Structure 1
Amino acid sequence: MTEPMDLSAFASTLGLVFVAELGDKTQLATLALAARYPWRPVLAGVVAAFALLNAAAVTVGGVAAAAVPPAWIQVGAGGLFLLFGGLSFVSRDEPGNESGPGARSLGPFGTSFLLILVSELGDKTQLATAGLAARWAAPLEVFAGSCLALWGVSGLALAVGVRIHRWIPARRIRRIAGLLFLAFGLATLWPLVVGRP
């Protein structure tokens, strides 16, 4: 006989993670990705990355974040943002080439998956998910609540990104996305530069 679902753990996780992620850098990155690439592979990449991150958070608790120095994660995330931002400015504006050079190597799914995975590794919502899993001793409910919250916030960003693409020319979107990625990269790396990781 299976135990009933712990609705308190599910609802607490869903609400806390949803609110914590609103306006976060990954929501803005998802918006920029959706404005630049087709929304389906972006959604698939974001969903896969958050599922993997939440599974790691629930399964390992905070051990994974403790095993990798936070500064390394910060450098990796900042570097990826800068790389994708730079690639946005060197892409050619040929018809049918809306993806740019970075997408040729990773594609929209790979770009979305890797960017979200690295930027969220050890982030507040992953650590909160690990803490909630430990507090409630209900890993499936915490996993489901956290995934639904992160997917919901990302879905909102995707919807806005798709709408933006209809009103603003693709070249301008690439430039705006590039500036956003560069800003996220600098903001991520700046605390390391000034000595406050």
Structure 2
Amino acid sequence: MESFFVSTGVVALAEIGDKTQLLAFLLAARFKKPLPIVAGILVATLINHGLAGALGAWITASLSPEVLRWVLGLSFLGMAVWTLIPDSIEDEETKTVQRLGVFGATLVTFFLAEMGDKTQIATVAMAAHYAAPLMVVAGTTLGMLIADVPAVFAGDKLANKIPMKLVHGIAAAIFAALGLATLLGAGAKLGF
């Protein structure tokens, strides 16, 4: 269960102020149809993070425990730094809405926005770290929903009240702690 709870918390914190959360704000403000937006976020995240979890499981099976420890430790430290860098969204990611409807546009834009995003990379790293990809994907998906659903329902009102630097600092500290713990051998009992 640790993999589920850590994945949920880390992604929920990392997602605050992320470009997909900004995209949720934008779609909610533009279309005022929260249910298809939330459904699109859920499906896109399950697909995207499911693929990331599978990659994490493959990495666990393919790398030696010593190499895996270093790759994961450095990846978590890199995620700590990346979390401190603010995101913005591209106009191209929102133009799809006009062609696919609210659900389809949310599905496509969220899936594409998550490709190579810090929460997707974190999903890969945590799935490899915990060797429990299903629990990690469930946790990261819940973390995305915890951060993005309020954005959909509260829109711009909520964005101005959240201390983004503090939230990003906490998420970065968690990633850094995971990285240092991994490098110092915290996962040794699990075989890496």
CA distance in 1, matches of 2:91, 2:153: 24
CA distance in 2, matches of 1:116, 1:163: 21
In structure 1, the residue matched to 2:91 is 82
Whether 1:43 and 2:38 are equivalent positions in the alignment is yes
Q: Who wins on radius of gyration, i.e. which is larger?
A: 1
TM superposition shift of 1:140 = 1.5
**Any idea what the Cα deviations from partners look like across 1:15-72, whole Å, max 9, x if unmatched?**
1111111111110110110111211111111111111111000012398xxxxxxxxx
- The equivalences for 1:159-170 within 5 A come to 159-161=153-155
1:145 to 1:160, Cα distance in 2 relative to 1, 3 A? same
In structure 1, the residue matched to 2:133 is 139
In structure 1, the residue matched to 2:147 is 153
- The equivalences for 1:16-165 within 5 A come to 16-37=10-31, 38-61=33-56, 81-83=90-92, 103-161=97-155
TM-score under structure 1 length normalisation: 0.59
CA distance in 2, matches of 1:125, 1:15: 11
Unaligned runs of 5+ in 2: 59-88, 159-192
TM superposition shift of 1:159 = 1.4
- The answer on whether the counterparts of 1:81 and 1:115 sit within 8 Å (CA) in structure 2 is no
Q: Secondary structure at the match of 2:17?
A: coil
CA distance in 2, matches of 1:161, 1:55: 27
Unaligned runs of 5+ in 1: 1-6, 64-79, 88-101, 165-197
Q: What's the RMSD between the two structures over aligned residues?
A: 2.5
Whether 1:8 and 2:17 are equivalent positions in the alignment is no
TM superposition shift of 1:141 = 1.0
